[in-house]
Amino acid sequence: MRSLFFVRKDRWLVCSECLFASSSKQQEMFAELWRRAEMAIRRSTIAHVLGASVLALTAASVAQAQDTADAEDVAALDDNIIIVSAEFRDTNLQETPLAITALTSEALESRSLDNVADVGRSVPSVTLRVASAGYGKSTQAYIRGIGQSDFNFALEPAVGFYVDDVYHASLFGSVFDLLDLERVEILRGPQGTLFGKNSIGGAVRLISQKPSNELEASVKGTYGSYERLDLRGMVNLPLIDDTLALRVSGASKQRDGYVDRVDFACANPDQAGNLQPTVTSGDCTVGTLGGESVRAGRAALRWTPDTAVEVNLTAEIMRDSSEGAADSLIHISPTTALNNYNANKLVPTYGIPFDSRFVTDPYVTYASYRDLSNGRQVPATNTMNSESFSGDVKVHLSDSVTLRSITAYQRFSGRFTQNADNSPLPIALTDNNVSFRQVTQELRLQGEALDGLLEWTTGAFYFDSKAHIRGGVSLPASGPNGIVFDQNDQVDGENKSAFVHAIVHPTDRLSVTAGVRYSDEAKTYRFDRTNQPSGTPFFAGGAFTAPEATFDRFDYKLGIDYQWTDDLMTYAQYSTGFKGGGINPRPFTPASAVPFGPETLDAYEIGLKSEFFDRMVRLNLAAYYSDYTNMQLSANGMDNLGNPSIVISNVGEATIKGLEAELTLNPAPAFVIEASGSYTDFEITDLGAAAGVSGGPTLDSKAPGTPEWKFNLGAQYTAEIDGFGSLTPRFDLYYQSRVFNEYTNNPLAAEPGYTVANARLTYDSPGEDWSLALGVTNLFNKFYYVNRFIQAGGYNFTGQPSRPREWSVTLSKDF
């Protein structure tokens, strides 16, 4: 048996068992394992030496069974190594020169994180939250002060969502369930040169479990507060040994609402004026908001006819028939328009004005979801149906060159309604019935050259989308005669791009990264709206198509990193990114339906990744500075005729500075402490055309969705009990400072800082084939608003109240 020599940092290592380690990935894997053996020797602990030897022998047997091993094999052998693919190649997290956080499926479960919006709590400089009722099934994502809150398809997300490297182009439909995931990666800072489309703020990547060649299955059930009942299951079937495997997973989630809908006239007859109750007995409750009813399924087929070809086919389906999103009235600020409407319409007709009598307990709303002025009634609903199909083909053209093709088709639709005044009076009622479909195609050619001196990736990306926004808007309090219309708008988008990315290793320790991407985008918007009940065109002249928004752009990246020791790496980089332009989606005259251009970002970052004391301490730091230009600002208000005026335009510049830290401590093998923190300084330096606009932003305005300070702390300890199994208590604490929700920084629409705690106790059986967990979220029952919103007209403020303290019991079984 011959030995295989390979270099690792500054020394040559010999592995006599590595006969079959012919690929560079395998060489890296064996090098890592061999380094563990050296660490064990330094510790002079027999148990560690034996453990490292077992790892090496296990790796050798894996190599003999499979000629090409993925880097995930390392992660399977050592839990302390986190493998990521943020640069389209599998690398150790600690050797990846990016600000990136990766959470495995086990980490997500231990923190009681149920959907992608929950994940942001554990990541510095990141805010992920479920949108307010007016924006439907959307995740509002902000990274390092840059984000997007509006679901409308005319607008682009600032943070890209990717599911198995398939780009998701809309905020709507982005409340992803964490179904059968391997891990979640969150990349901070612009990802303009590698990732599919417009990830100016960063990227959220969900990586699913792939089918394997082992027969396995699992089932999990959860019961908890508000009659919560979750069921999840998975089965992995090897259809043809080492060639074809099928993995099927499914989930069902059911939970009652936590905000009560109450009939105002029934509960408050002395304040109801001429309003008549719809119920006359009991507690006057007519329903709830915030309830969930979701079904989802996923099937993945993996075909590996030989070592050079891998084909993954995936189909996903979701049916979400949830009730209306939680929403309640926070405050009413009288304006001239509201006072006139109260005096001229509401009081004469209904005997009462729209005033603070409708502001009540935040877990109660008086929303009736009907407009008494015209008879329009809508259900309190927040639904989403989706289907996604993708094909991922990877072909090793040679030992050093790989071609990958990712083809995907997605479609989703849903309906979400909001009674924005949270009262039975005719003020504001919206009904959004939306649909979206997209086709994406990405080709990547990736390889190595010059004996590993150069790693390169090049490729092309194509995106095509078509969206419809139907339903209607009822704003009887707006304008001299009110505004009530049905809509049938259509939004089309297209993106074509090409990129080149290269990493050069002049020495074993030094790496230089460079990349460039060219993007060409176009977007059109056809407005088709009809006044109700008259049936006349909303716009003079009828339906029309706004001027097309078109633009192209080059983005760049240049970085350098140096591995000072096996456990210490520093890096510096410059990168650019952009958020695509669009068309003002809510004009009240054709003249307001104008295009706006892309936002742009120039970002500078330095970072450190380190481990100490034989990896008992892991500390990662990042500092960044960004120039943010052509900011897309939205102004909501009233024009001189009393009509709502909503305009989006490119105005202003800002600088963003920040610090991030992530710390992991392993003081004992069974004890882990995790902490992270961030500081974000967002400063507007130029308002451009927005300077001096009444009710607009100022130079002191801070970015929405972005706390200045953010921290999280988690700790867990696994106590092994002979013959009994193990008990693992875990405690998590999350803090964020004050958050504004729009650029005017209105204090009534700002959320003060708050702290939330979760706790979980897990029992694992001796064979680790089943477990029982008790979890409590919002342990100290802290109240806060997930988000706040100033409704059109500027006189009423609504918000999504936080979920109260909730408990759950989860039983899991592996087969």
At 331-370, the pLDDT tens digits run 999 888 899 999 999 999 999 999 999 999 999 999 999 9
User: Can you say how many angstroms the Cα of residue 137 is from the centroid of all Cα atoms in its chain?
Assistant: 12
Kindly state the percentage of the chain with pLDDT values over 70: 88
Q: Give pLDDT, residue 645.
A: 57
- In the block, which residue shows the tokens 């759950």? 808
Whether residue 810 is contained in a domain is answered as yes
Q: Which domain holds residue 314?
A: 216-814
| Mean local confidence (pLDDT), 81-98 | 87
Q: CA–CA separation, 204 vs 260, rounded Å?
A: 34
User: Which tokens go with 760?
Assistant: 């979980």
Are 201 and 125 a contacting pair, CB within 8 Å? no
φ, ψ (nearest 5 deg) of residue 629:
-125, 160
Whether residue 245 is contained in a domain is answered as yes
Which 8-state DSSP code applies to residue 741? Answer: S
Q: CA–CA separation, 632 vs 598, rounded Å?
A: 8
Q: Give pLDDT, residue 208.
A: 94
Express each pLDDT in 191-247 by its tens digit.
Answer: 988 887 878 999 999 999 999 999 999 999 999 999 999 999 999 999 999 999 999
End residue of a domain, out of 48, 78, 108 = 78
Q: Give pLDDT, residue 644.
A: 57
- In the block, which residue shows the tokens 């890296």? 28
Are 261 and 289 a contacting pair, CB within 8 Å? yes
CB atoms within 10 A of CB 791: 22
> Which range among 392-396, 486-490, 509-513, 645-649 shows the weakest confidence by mean pLDDT?
645-649
Q: Are residues 511 and 660 in the same domain?
A: yes
Q: Give pLDDT, residue 40.
A: 41
Integer angstrom CA distances of residue 520 from 267, 581, 582? 57, 11, 13
Whether residue 110 is contained in a domain is answered as no
Express each pLDDT in 268-314 by its tens digit.
Answer: 999 999 999 998 878 899 999 999 999 999 999 999 999 999 999 99
Are 90 and 81 a contacting pair, CB within 8 Å? no
Q: CA–CA separation, 231 vs 297, rounded Å?
A: 12
The helix (H) or strand (E) run that includes residue 59 is: helix 46-65
The single-letter code of the amino acid at 764 is D
The helix (H) or strand (E) run that includes residue 30 is: helix 24-43
Whether residue 635 is contained in a domain is answered as yes
Whether residue 207 is contained in a domain is answered as no
Pairing between strand 709-717 and 719-721? unpaired
End residue of a domain, out of 33, 63, 78 = 78
φ, ψ (nearest 5 deg) of residue 723:
75, 0
Q: Which has more confidence, 415 or 480?
A: 415
Are 386 and 411 a contacting pair, CB within 8 Å? yes
270 three-state secondary structure: helix
133 three-state secondary structure: helix
End residue of a domain, out of 59, 78, 97 = 78
Q: In total, how many domains does the chain have?
A: 2
Q: Prior bond to 480 cis, omega within 30?
A: no
| Mean local confidence (pLDDT), 542-556 | 93
Are 539 and 590 a contacting pair, CB within 8 Å? yes
Q: Are residues 221 and 72 in the same domain?
A: no
Whether residue 86 is contained in a domain is answered as no
DSSP calls for 146-207: EEE----TTS--SEEEEETTEEE--SBT---B--SEEEEEEEES--TTTSSS--SSEEEEEE
Q: Give pLDDT, residue 646.
A: 67
Q: CA–CA separation, 492 vs 116, rounded Å?
A: 27
Q: CA–CA separation, 749 vs 172, rounded Å?
A: 22
φ, ψ (nearest 5 deg) of residue 174:
-100, 10
Whether residue 178 is contained in a domain is answered as no
**Cα dihedral: 85, 397, 192, 564 (round 10):** 50
DSSP calls for 277-297: -S--STT-EEEEES-EEEEEE
Express each pLDDT in 779-789 by its tens digit.
Answer: 999 999 999 99
| Mean local confidence (pLDDT), 252-271 | 96
- In the block, which residue shows the tokens 């709206």? 529
Whether residue 85 is contained in a domain is answered as no
- Residues linked to residue 458 through DSSP beta bridges, in sequence order: 445, 500
CB atoms within 10 A of CB 146: 28
Q: Would the pLDDT of 23 be above 80?
A: no
Q: Where residue 349 sits, what CATH number does that domain have?
A: 2.40.170.20
